[in-house]
């Protein structure tokens, strides 16, 4: 019984001594800040080393490029992640959704044109456009699918059913 008591006390003291020095590291979920994706509204959005027009320019975003916003730095600047480094861009040129860069007409021969959540028929249909409708395209680089904004969300339409694109600017 005495051996058991000594062992229990020694174990308790050892555990409490080490337990006091052990501190759990914060989980990556609490360390990570909630980043949001926004879009450059201009062709040459300067990416700067600090929140000032006098700061060094280290890169540029093209129109409709995805901008990973870490946080709002102040009333004029966003802190962003650029090549894994915290940088700054002017809020005046960054918005929630991309801007139209071209126009096109839906040409389906009478049927509706499905708007999908991704650039493939494997993606969910999120809406449709009527035949003959003039639509705004936010990206038409892909020869098979064009990006659009539909009811505040990014969607995709099959390029083979869009007559155009015609420059919007």
- Contact between 127 and 100 (Cβ < 8 Å): no
pTM of the model: 0.60
109-160: pLDDT as tens digits? 999 999 999 999 999 999 999 999 999 898 876 789 999 999 888 999 999 9
CA-CA-CA-CA torsion sign (144, 147, 150, 153): positive
7-37: pLDDT as tens digits? 334 444 333 333 333 333 333 333 345 778 8
Q: Do the domain assignments include residue 124?
A: yes
Q: Are residues 74 and 123 located together in one domain of the fold?
A: no
What is the count of structural domains for the chain?
2
Q: Do the domain assignments include residue 24?
A: no
Q: Are residues 54 and 108 located together in one domain of the fold?
A: no
Comparison of pLDDT for 69 and 15, the residue scoring more = 69
Q: Do the domain assignments include residue 17?
A: no
76-117: pLDDT as tens digits? 999 999 999 999 999 999 988 888 888 889 999 999 999 999
Q: Are residues 163 and 110 located together in one domain of the fold?
A: yes
Last residue of a domain, one of 95, 117, 142: 95
Q: Do the domain assignments include residue 43?
A: yes
Q: Are residues 91 and 128 located together in one domain of the fold?
A: no
Q: Are residues 148 and 163 located together in one domain of the fold?
A: yes
Cis peptide before 35 (omega within 30 of 0): no
- Contact between 139 and 146 (Cβ < 8 Å): yes
Comparison of pLDDT for 11 and 62, the residue scoring more = 62
Of all residues in the chain, what percent carry a pLDDT higher than 90? 54
Q: 140 lies in which domain range?
A: 102-167
CATH code of the domain in which 42 resides: 2.30.30.40
């Amino acid at each position: 019984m005495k051996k058991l008591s000594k062992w229990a006390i020694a174990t308790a003291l050892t555990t409490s001594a080490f337990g006091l020095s052990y501190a759990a590291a914060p989980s990556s979920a609490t360390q990570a800040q909630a980043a949001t994706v926004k879009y450059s509204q201009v062709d040459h959005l300067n990416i700067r080393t600090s929140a000032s027009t006098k700061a060094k320019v280290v890169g540029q975003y093209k129109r409709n490029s995805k901008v990973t916003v870490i946080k709002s730095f102040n009333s004029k600047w966003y802190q962003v992640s650029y090549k894994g480094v915290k940088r700054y861009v002017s809020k005046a040129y960054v918005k929630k959704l991309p801007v139209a860069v071209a126009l096109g007409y839906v040409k389906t021969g009478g049927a509706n044109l499905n708007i999908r959540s991704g650039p493939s028929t494997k993606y969910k249909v999120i809406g449709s456009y009527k035949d003959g409708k003039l639509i705004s395209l936010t990206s038409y680089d892909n020869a098979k699918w064009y990006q659009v904004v539909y009811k505040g969300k990014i969607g995709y339409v099959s390029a083979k059913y869009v007559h155009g694109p015609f420059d919007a600017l």
